[in-house]
Amino acid sequence: MGTVEPSDPPAWEDPAYQVFLDSLDYLSSADIGRVKEAYVFSARAHANQKRMSGEPYITHPLAVAGAVAEWRMDGEAVAAALLHDVLEDTATSKRDLADRFGREVAELVDGLSKLDRMEFATYQEAQAENFRKMLMAMARDLRVVLIKLADRQHNLQTMAGMRPDKCRRIAIETLDIYAPIALRLGLSKLCRELQDMSFQLIHPYRAAVLSKALQAARGNRRELLLWIQDAIAGKLAEAGLHADVFGREKSLFSIYRKMREKCVSFSEVLDLYGFRVVVDSVPHCYMAIGALHSLFKPVPGKFKDYIAIPKSNSYQSLHTTLIGPHGTPVEIQVRTQEMHHVAQEGVAAHWLYKDVEESGADLQIKTHRWLQSLLEMQSGDSAEFFENVKIDLFPDQVYVFTPRGKIMSLPRGATVIDFAYNVHTDVGHHCSAARINQELAPLSTQLHNGDMVEIVTAPHVTPKPEWLGIVRTGRARSKIRHFLRTMQNEESSSLGERLLNQELLSLGVVPAAIPREAWNHLVKACGKRTLEDLYADIGLGKRLSSVVARRLLARDELSVAAPSRAALAIRGTEGMAVQLAHCCQPIPGDPIIGSIKKGSGLIIHVGDCPTIRKSRSREPHQWINVEWEPEEGKLFDVRIMVEVKNQRGALAQAASAIAAAGSNIDSVAMDANPDKLVTLLHFTIEVANRTHLAAVMRRLRHAPEVTRIAREREGEGEV
């Protein structure tokens, strides 16, 4: 195609196109020429395509480009919006776009295009991988996500004619992902629109009922709201403040969500309406709050200062709730004009308003950091990455402080571990405890606004699988999973090597005497890349060491005599590859036996554990002899039952005896019954070995309040 003249396509006379062209008056003539060329290219590429509504397909890219132009974005972004579907829905290639419109436009369009659906087994897998691709493009260029949000907005507006199940799926995806992204980028106006449209598609009847109720409430309260608005404006004028006061109505989805979360009826949602006060400067914001608190009584605990501590999306405002006439709660937000622009348009304010250049640039920096943090969560599993990002998009935040006074924003419900990983990955990996407001606290402690948090680390502490049930942020979850996977592979490989060597020795073969060629052939025959991968399969129970050993020896008849070791030595500190059974909690000194469980590695039980009796007789080949290998400094959990006289101070005496024997108490539970003469105390304590446990039990027997002691194993006691 050559240079496009205005008379080229007949669509130039389309009124919608003319309105779009009029909106481009902020661009240079060269940029407008490129946008016109992009329109012609897109119109021709989509010439034979129709939307579900029957309209020509070009109406969709034109609407998306119009929304982008409303944000006053640059010519490349507007052109990319017009072209955003040509790679996905036409025969056009990325090279074609780069040659015609430049590499920058081609990269934007490519970031907006879905991957080939035929590559994936399920829709969920395709959705997750497409989202990962979009996110990576977002991290390179923020314009990608703004065009994508405009695309999603127009798709929701034009769902007529689409299958109800597809409408619902797209709406749910919007609520889960795109509306939270809009909110995270500060696009609160767009977020509310996406939420309300999605709500109406998912629950059309509920939305209609709520809309009707809201209209009725609006009519009933109109006079009262006008009176309150006039009173607010009058009070601010009396204080010498120039302010714009206007009403703010809660969105349909916000009302519905509050009714669901709080389990209240529509009539009990009292904050349907509020007011925004826009003043000239930050000092005037605080002066306005003082004036309003003298007009109506403030509700204690409802004042929030997001100017001193902005939200993670750079939102700034003062919030307060007042008790108005007839006991009506009145929500008021006070902000400057600049803050109002950022609150409504978020990162788009950077392009929209020249007077917010500084705050817009700051928001772009924060957004870029957020996107980079999301990319750090990437793992091999797209679905897992997708879930991690969804977790990270929850908008409710708590603000906590480091010991040096730095403010950190975390999702509501975040714990000490989340904070540690937010500081640094190594701090998270080795966090052992924390001081919250100068007081020691466990890792599972949830953080609250204003907490000052100091992490205590220890070199021997590493992430545990239980941490995944504690953390709230996607970053922490991703880092923990990556560590556990890496450690499991390393530990499983080490365990597998020991299991295979033990099997070879029992067959009278010294592993070191086996030729390298035999090992290489074995690895290739098993379909593995390295010997370590094969060892890992053995350690995880995916392959039996006896089968692998015989397969190895079948190629090379080796019969080097060697002493046989009947038992595999374990320390109990190998990590995830060797797990101590929870049912019997073996400790050094106990006679033990091991079971290879597929995918879990070696599980260690006490030899007489009642839980495994049937399995040992039914599947004897899965059990191997193991023995303890001494290691200093390691402590093991063990459960004991202590029966004490039902009298005051008995628990304290028992706990004191355990401490005196050099053992820590991990947890304690009590079966208390005032009508009985005795109380059962169930302790989980830490001991080094069976001898240490015996010393603890001896110390307890000397306590006068103790009448009986037993070691607990799945409901059975050992006195």
Q: What's the pLDDT score for residue 279?
A: 92
Give the CATH number of domain 411-472.
Answer: 3.10.20.30
Q: What's the pLDDT score for residue 357?
A: 47
- Note the pTM of the prediction, 2 decimals: 0.57
Q: How confident is the model at residue 287 (pLDDT cuts 50, 70, 90)?
A: very high
Going through 512-622 in order, the beta strands assigned E by DSSP cover 568-570, 578-580, 592-597, 601-606
324-370 tens-digit pLDDT: 887 777 889 999 988 887 777 766 655 555 444 444 456 566 666 66
* CA-to-CA separations, 315 to 251, 336, 356, in angstroms, rounded: 19, 11, 13
Nearest by Cα to 173 from 109, 123, 117, 121: 123
Structure-model confidence comparison of residues 63 and 552, the more confident one: 63
Structure-model confidence comparison of residues 694 and 498, the more confident one: 694
Other C-beta atoms lying within 10 Å of the C-beta of residue 373: 15
DSSP state of 467: G
237-280 tens-digit pLDDT: 998 888 899 887 778 888 888 888 778 787 777 666 788 999 99
Give the CATH number of domain 10-158.
Answer: 1.10.3210.10
Q: How confident is the model at residue 597 (pLDDT cuts 50, 70, 90)?
A: low
- Could you tell me the residue ranges of all domains in the chain? 10-158, 213-357, 411-472, 481-628, 636-718
Kindly state the average pLDDT of the residues 312-327. Answer: 82
Q: Contact, 611 vs 581, CB < 8 A?
A: yes
Task: Tell me how far apart the alpha carbons of residues 384 and 605 are, in angstroms, rounded to a whole number.
Answer: 33
Q: What's the pLDDT score for residue 253?
A: 87
CATH class entry, domain 213-357: alpha beta
Q: What's the pLDDT score for residue 349?
A: 58
Q: What's the pLDDT score for residue 391?
A: 55
On the question of pLDDT at 602 being above 80, the answer is: no
Q: Which residues are catalytic?
A: 88-89
Kindly state the average pLDDT of the residues 367-379. Answer: 61
Kindly state the average pLDDT of the residues 81-96. Answer: 86
Q: Look over the chain and give the mean of its residue pLDDT values, rounded to a whole number.
A: 78
On the question of pLDDT at 431 being above 80, the answer is: yes
On the question of pLDDT at 305 being above 80, the answer is: yes
Architecture category of domain 636-718 in CATH: 2-Layer Sandwich (3.30)
Q: What's the pLDDT score for residue 621?
A: 67
Q: How confident is the model at residue 124 (pLDDT cuts 50, 70, 90)?
A: low
On the question of pLDDT at 387 being above 70, the answer is: no
Q: What's the pLDDT score for residue 716?
A: 53
Best mean pLDDT range from 48-57, 261-270, 314-323:
314-323
629-654 tens-digit pLDDT: 766 567 788 889 998 888 888 888 88
604-620 tens-digit pLDDT: 888 888 888 777 777 77
Q: What's the pLDDT score for residue 334?
A: 93
Structure-model confidence comparison of residues 133 and 317, the more confident one: 317
Which of 95-109, 214-228, 347-361, 454-468 is predicted least confidently?
347-361
Best mean pLDDT range from 20-29, 311-320, 460-469, 579-588:
20-29
- Chain centre to alpha carbon of residue 283: 37
Specify which residues 625 forms β-bridges with: 593
Q: Which residues contact 194 (CB under 8 A, 6 or more apart)?
A: 149, 152, 153, 156, 174, 175, 178, 179, 182
Other C-beta atoms lying within 10 Å of the C-beta of residue 238: 11
